């Protein structure tokens, strides 16, 4: 019985050591850059003040060479865009990036006194 306790204790210590020594194999995502954002992004879902909305159907963002074209307000507008601290600034409009992968982009902004949370897919 005494040897079983030692065996159990050593097994627990060994298991704890093995689990704690395992690091995460998941790589951190690359830092978000304006180059990552370049291209055309098409809206696939949107919330306005927390409720689903279809009023932005057909909305897109296109970023290229320091310019951003978007049709948030109904007609396409192209102006210089500044990217800093996970935010895009076009004139006085600020778009906060909530997530970005190779093919999806999440953005929040306030437009015409409405809070929007939007998700875009990279156009092919």
Q: What are the boundaries of each domain within the chain? A: 34-122
Which of 8-17, 34-43, 70-79 is predicted with the least confidence, judged by mean pLDDT? 8-17
Q: What is the pLDDT of residue 39?
A: 94
Residue 112 has pLDDT above 90, yes or no: no
Average of pLDDT values for 39-49? 96
What is the per-residue DSSP string for 18-75?
HHHHPPP-PPPPPPP-HHHH-EEEEEEEEEETTEE--TTTT-EEEEETTEEEE-TTSS
Superfamily of structural domain 34-122? Calycin beta-barrel core domain (2.40.128.20)
């Amino acid at each position: 019985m005494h040897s079983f306790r030692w065996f159990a204790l050593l097994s627990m210590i060994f298991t704890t050591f093995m689990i704690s020594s395992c690091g995460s194999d998941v790589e951190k995502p690359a830092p978000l850059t304006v180059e990552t954002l370049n291209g055309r992004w098409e809206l696939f879902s949107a919330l306005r003040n927390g409720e689903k909305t279809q009023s932005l159907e057909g909305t897109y963002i296109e970023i290229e060479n320091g310019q951003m074209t978007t049709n948030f307000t109904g007609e396409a507008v192209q102006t210089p865009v500044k990217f800093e601290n996970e935010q895009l600034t076009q004139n006085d409009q600020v778009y906060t990036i909530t997530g970005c992968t190779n093919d999806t982009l999440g953005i929040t902004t306030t437009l015409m006194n409405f809070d929007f949370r939007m998700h875009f897919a990279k156009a092919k």
